[in-house]
Amino acid sequence: KYYTDYENSPVIGIARASKSGHGTNIIAGVAVGMESTGLPIAVISVALMISYTLGKTSGLPGNAAGVFGTAVATMGMLCTAVFVLSMNNFGPIADNGGGIVEMSGQGEEIREITDMLDAVGNVTKAASKGYAVGGSALACFVLFQAFLDEISILINKPFQNIDIANVEVVIGGMLGVMTIFLFTGWSMAAVGSTAEKVVQEVRRQFQAMPGIMATPQTQQPDYTTCVAIVTKGALGAMVKPALLALAMPVVVGFSFRAIGSYTNQPLLGLEVVAGFMMFGSITGLMMAIFLDNSGGAWDNAKKLVEKSGQKGSEQHKAAVTGDTVGDPFKDTSGPSLHVIITTMSTTILVLGPLFASY
């Protein structure tokens, strides 16, 4: 809430930076997003430590006690899912309500009300995404421990420690980090390429149907074509990022299984995918927080500029640029990472036994 509400200094700072141009708006928004990762990660770390420590007092043997505490904390977070979902749904409802008001030709005073609701919706969406990040962090730790326990049963001896000084494990970690960045880049590129097609179609309609912009309006836009472009783009362009997230753990696991078999290190594939899982999950969590909060801050900075009566000014144009950049941040790449980090961990957990060269 602090980093996305336009009553607080981060969003006010982005709006102020918009006065000096588009570039400074982008710089300010990125800075806010990066800064916003600090407090959530600290809170998640404390929650993880407390839940793990309390779990150790449960009386269960070995690491199972700490994992039990973390699992209980995860379930505790999920108990509030219904309230968080309602907060998350408030944002799109308010946003679409504003669109209906604008398309139906309502007065500016009505649009101002829906803009305020939309701004609140950006805050609630950011809060619900923060909840998703926290739940994913705890869940990924549980999945990681489940993977270690699964392998311990498979090889009939403890498998609890991963040596990150091992060069192969470091390589696996770097590949996990790379997967997150590459997925984020590809998902943003998918939004950009589809947006270009929509802009081209809108320009074509303006030229072919000049009555769209006439006063009074004498022709209706062809909404169906634009919706079809966006739908096809969304379904088609996300195939590559999704395949990357699903295939990378498998490729890494089998590749280092082969290397381990050749170098007489039967557990090498398992150790490398463990590093891949942990480094990738941590990077994905921080990247998701950065994208979600910077996107929401950019959006509300634009609304703050409009609320101050600067709509149409150079400051407003710069704020619109930030909002445009922030949309794929908070609505595409950020939410997708919440799912991807859990999917990667689950894939490794399910296929884990196949990565041992026994």
The one-digit pLDDT tens for each residue of the chain (358 residues) are 788 777 888 888 998 998 888 999 999 999 999 998 888 889 888 888 888 888 888 777 766 777 788 888 888 877 777 777 787 787 778 878 877 887 777 777 787 788 778 777 777 777 777 777 777 777 788 888 888 888 888 888 877 778 888 899 999 999 999 999 999 998 888 888 888 888 899 999 888 888 888 877 788 888 889 889 988 888 888 888 888 888 999 999 999 988 888 888 888 888 899 899 889 988 998 898 899 888 888 888 888 888 887 788 888 899 889 888 888 888 888 888 888 888 888 888 888 888 876 6
- Give the count of alpha carbons within 13 A of 245, CB side only: 26
DSSP 35-94: HTTHHHHHHHHHHHHHHHHHHGGG--STTHHHHHHHHHHHHHHHTTHHHHHHHHHHHHHH
pTM of the predicted structure, to 2 decimals = 0.83
| Nearest one of 178, 198, 189, 315 to 249, comparing CA atoms | 178
pLDDT value for 357: 66
- What per-residue confidence (pLDDT) applies to 75? 81
The predicted pLDDT at position 343 comes to 84
d(CA 260, CA 111): 63
Q: Please give the single-letter amino acid code of residue 62.
A: G
Residue 17 token pair: 């930076």
| C-alpha torsion sign, points 243, 193, 27, 335 | negative
Q: What is the pLDDT of residue 121?
A: 77
Query: What pLDDT shows up at residue 26?
Result: 93
The alpha carbon of residue 323 and the mean position of all alpha carbons in its chain are separated, in whole angstroms, by 17
Task: Convert 248-260 to b/e letters by CB count within 10 Å (16 or more is b).
Answer: bbeebbbbbbeeb
User: In 3-state terms, what secondary structure has residue 265?
Assistant: coil
Q: How far apart are CA 304 and CA 28, in angstroms?
A: 15
| Helices vs strands, H then E, count in the chain | 12, 0
- Alpha helices (runs of H) in 79-166, residue ranges in sequence order: 81-103, 108-155
256, 263 contact by CB (below 8 A): no
pLDDT of residue 358: 62
